[in-house]
Amino acid sequence: MMNLPPFGIGTLHFGSSLNKKICKEIIFKAVDLGVNFFDTSPLYGNALSEEILGGIFSEIRQPVFIATKVGLQQAQRKDGQFGVEIIKLTEQNLRKSVENSLKKLKKETIDLLTLHAFDPHTPISETLDALIQLHQEGKIRYLGCSNYNPEQLKCLLKEIKKKSCSFFLTAQCHYNMIERRAGVSFIPFCEKNGLQIIINRALARGALSGQYVASAIYPEQSRAAKSWRIRKWLTFERISLIETLSRLSKKKNLSLTEIALIWLKKNHPKSVPLLGVRNAEQLNQCLNIKSDLLDETFFTEIEAIISKASHVYCSPPRYFEK
């Protein structure tokens, strides 16, 4: 079994909006605070995240647990914007991706390899045979999936059971206090089947930091200032909801970030939220949560506010969702 810390570090922006100096500060601070789990992908940071992590890890004496992914690659859309497309999970593609990641990360074994998206074109049996071989060779320790819907995960688990693939242990999903689509059926299904849940977008792409206001003037270093997708997602209704939750959090002398993370750990105590922090100070804030300051009355008030905004229960449609 894996022994992950209560939180992990998401490295989506390592190498893109975060330079190596800042990445190093975040990693050293995380390890110093007992967070040794880092989640990356060949895609992240304009394809630089793995390489940056590998260089910094070589300077750290303490053991770190690294998760990387396979199954997606960058693709340019017809409108000129960049998106992603699914890579077939064939033996050749899996081996190539794993070996490239090991080289960049400067490791002999990937602690957790996550299937980044469901591949409808390659037989699951073929994919698992290749992964079992990589596991036997010592190139991957554990296996998980990300961006699967419940039906896709059921298909995967059915084949895993046939092959007695006991090293499949995790499922990663997009979930937070105001975006709860995964909580309807995906998370309950994972919990029922004993899978460790890893949560991305735990702070709703930075929105639950409370930095956005209805004036639609985005802080210069915020994600919304640089991403049209986030600006599109930040509707007036969502920002109004976030402002209401911010005012409520101030009554307890806590930040909205702290409230959002306390809510996650209260409702799913065994989950591992990934923190996509932009600096070491943000990491301090995220890990300094004081759940004992809140009672059930407070959480009831939160639910009453959120239940009035029914749209927040469905995260935006993505390529992997039906």
Q: Give the three-state DSSP class for 139.
A: coil
Q: Which residue has the tokens 């073929």?
A: 126
Say if CB 108 and CB 137 are below 8 A apart.
no
What was the pLDDT predicted at 226? Answer: 61
286, 275 Cβ separation under 8 angstroms: yes
Render 256-320 in DSSP notation, one character per residue. HHHHHHHHHHHH-TT-EEEE--SSHHHHHHHH---GGG--HHHHHHHHHHHHT-GGGGSPPP-TT
| pLDDT tens-digit readout, 149-175 | 999 999 999 999 999 999 999 999 999
pLDDT 10s digit of each residue in the chain, 322 long?
688 999 999 999 999 989 999 999 999 999 999 999 999 999 999 999 999 999 999 999 889 999 999 999 988 667 666 678 999 999 999 999 999 999 999 999 999 999 999 999 999 999 999 999 999 999 999 999 999 999 999 999 999 999 999 999 999 999 999 999 999 999 999 999 999 999 999 998 888 987 765 555 565 656 655 665 666 767 778 888 888 999 999 988 899 999 999 999 999 999 999 999 999 999 998 998 877 778 899 999 999 998 877 554 444 444 333 3
Tokens of 190: 């994972």
Whether 141 contacts 170, CB under 8 Å: no
Are 285 and 275 contacting, i.e. CB atoms less than 8 angstroms apart?
no
* Residues β-bridged to residue 146: 172
In angstroms, rounded to a whole number, what is the distance separating the alpha carbons of residues 28 and 45?
Answer: 19
The residues facing 168 across adjacent strands are: 143
CATH for 8-208+256-288, among 3.20.20.100, 3.40.50.620, 3.20.20.70, 3.40.50.11030? 3.20.20.100
Give the helix/strand (H/E) hosting 39.
strand 37-39
**What is residue 220's predicted lDDT score, i.e. its pLDDT?**
60
pLDDT of residue 103: 98
pLDDT at 214: 54
Q: In one letter, which amino acid is 252? A: K
Q: Which amino acid does the sequence have at 173?
A: C
How many angstroms separate the CA atoms of 135 and 28, rounded? 29
pTM (2 decimals)?
0.91
Check if the beta carbon of residue 263 is closer than 8 Å to that of residue 271: no
Cα–Cα dist 147/87, whole Å? 14
Chain CA centroid to CA 132, Å: 24
Between CA 113 and CA 186, with CA 136 as vertex, the angle to 5 degrees is 35
User: What pLDDT score was predicted for residue 26?
Assistant: 97
Per-residue confidence (pLDDT) for residue 35, from 0 to 100:
96
Q: Find where tokens 């199954």 sit.
A: 71
On whether the CB atoms of residues 102 and 68 are closer than 8 A, the answer is: no
Residue in 180, 309, 210, 199 with CA at minimum distance from that of residue 265: 199
Does residue 29 contact residue 61 with C-beta atoms inside 8 Å? Answer: no
pLDDT of residue 105: 98
